[in-house]
Amino acid sequence: MASIMPCTCGRSQAARGPHGTGVHARTPTYGEGMEFRYLGNSGLKISEITYGNWLTHGSQVENDVATQCVRAALDHGISTFDTADVYANTKAESVLGDALHGERRESLEIFTKVYWPTGPGGKNDTGLSRKHIMESIDGSLTRLRTDYVDLYQAHRYDTETPLEETMQAFGDVVRAGKALYIGVSEWTADQIRAGHELAKDLGIQLISSQPQYSMLWRVIEGEVVPTCEELGIGQIVWSPIAQGVLTGKYVPGQAPPQGSRAADEKGGADMIKRFMNDDVLGRVQQLKPVADEAGLSMAQLAVAWVLQNPNVSAAIVGASRPEQVGENVKAAGVRLEPELMTRIDDVLGDIVERDPGKTAETAPKGRVV
């Protein structure tokens, strides 16, 4: 029911040449190796499994373990790394920069983001004003120990700054050589369209959207994905395992395992609570036979599932232990048969969230200070 084959996602091979030929810093040590996809309509190739350090580096795991996780990612052929200045209030960027130090920069794709409050949280330490963007990119580059990032992303839409000001600042960051491309995260379809139009007028490339997306959270499918397909924008999706729910480790009627995200009162439990009810958890348990039939773990099934969407360029995975990286990477190159995709839909039924209005509903209504 599942097979491994070359990626043909998102672009005609006849038009752009064969995929899977991206350069990375070292040879993968397992199986078929990593697959690579173009990011949107750009010429940039990224690893379809991207390593992210939200909720881990600089907070949940010690720096030496974080470094081990990054090394494991490199060993398994991951070349793309996603972070943000707000993660652990800038510490996550520093940990990632240290872990990648010494690698061939040209063989890596390093992504970061700007919007949320950083530093002491002063009145201009947040948002997408020109002041905050221009100061934030310099801080991120210093912490990441690099002269440029491959992708600089607006971490949310700023309702208090004119979009023209934001996009002009991003344009200047690109022209200064501090970022190669720009992207957005958790923007609505209308916001993406407006930003793309301004970027085009300024001669810069808005090539990506970074939304939450999983079997359980499909709110981008109705509006964001069709808009991005039209505009040539690719999705870099976060939380493909629904903060761990789709691993099946949470069982209806039982307390969350000690040390799991649902048991973390420092932030993880709050993020995962929308899925922590017996109806959702019970349906997820019914996915185990499907995963077994496909020859995958439940986590691998979840990651492989998001990668079936032709508009998805990469799935972001995190890790608190190096061995988790190797397990998640086994979802690379997996193609799920249509029959299996249908069975997943049948199992999950009406617990899936599909309302496109959830993107705007969960967005900040003003700057967070």
Domain of residue 8, CATH code: 3.20.20.100
pLDDT of residue 30: 33
Q: Is residue 175 part of a domain?
A: yes
Per-residue model confidence as pLDDT tens digits over 321-351: 899 999 999 999 999 999 999 999 999 999 9
What CA–CA distance (Å, rounded) separates 150 from 71?
Answer: 20
More confident call, 340 vs 25: 340
Work out the average pLDDT over 170-197: 98
Q: Is residue 293 part of a domain?
A: yes
pLDDT of residue 21: 27
Q: How sure is the predictor about 269, in pLDDT bands with cuts at 50, 70 and 90?
A: low
pLDDT of residue 209: 98
pLDDT of residue 124: 94
Q: Is the pLDDT of residue 85 over 60?
A: yes
Q: Is residue 366 part of a domain?
A: no
Work out the average pLDDT over 10-16: 35
Exactly one of 51, 87, 115, 152 is catalytic; which is it? 87
Q: Is the pLDDT of residue 28 over 90?
A: no
Domain that holds residue 170: 2-361
Q: Between the CA of residue 190 and those of 16, 208, 356, what are the distances in Å?
A: 29, 15, 12
Q: Is residue 253 part of a domain?
A: yes
Q: How sure is the predictor about 285, in pLDDT bands with cuts at 50, 70 and 90?
A: very high
Sequence-distant (6+) residues with CB within 8 A of 14 are none
pLDDT of residue 368: 75
Q: Residue 48 in contact with residue 61, Cβ under 8 Å?
A: no
Q: Is residue 48 part of a domain?
A: yes
Work out the average pLDDT over 249-268: 69
Q: Is the pLDDT of residue 311 over 90?
A: yes
Q: Is residue 367 part of a domain?
A: no
Q: Is the pLDDT of residue 369 over 80?
A: no
Q: How sure is the predictor about 259, in pLDDT bands with cuts at 50, 70 and 90?
A: low
Work out the average pLDDT over 217-221: 98
pLDDT of residue 56: 60
pLDDT of residue 27: 36
Per-residue model confidence as pLDDT tens digits over 227-249: 999 999 999 999 999 989 999 99
Q: Between the CA of residue 353 and those of 214, 218, 227, 241, 359, what are the distances in Å?
A: 10, 6, 19, 14, 11
Sign of the C-alpha dihedral computed for residues 261, 356, 310 and 236 taken in this order = negative
Work out the average pLDDT over 62-86: 92
Query: With b meaning 16 or more CB within 10 Å and e meaning fewer, what string describes 259-273?
Result: ebbbebeeebbebbe
pLDDT of residue 273: 77
Q: Is the pLDDT of residue 357 over 60?
A: yes
Sequence-distant (6+) residues with CB within 8 A of 193 are 227, 231
Q: How many structural domains are present in the chain? A: 1
Q: Is residue 368 part of a domain?
A: no
Report pTM: 0.89
- The token duo for 266 is 């420092």
Mean pLDDT, the chain, rounded, equals 88
Q: Is residue 133 part of a domain?
A: yes
Closest Cα to residue 91, out of 119, 110, 116? Answer: 119
The reply to whether 87 belongs to the active site is yes
What is the H or E stretch that residue 180 is in? strand 179-184
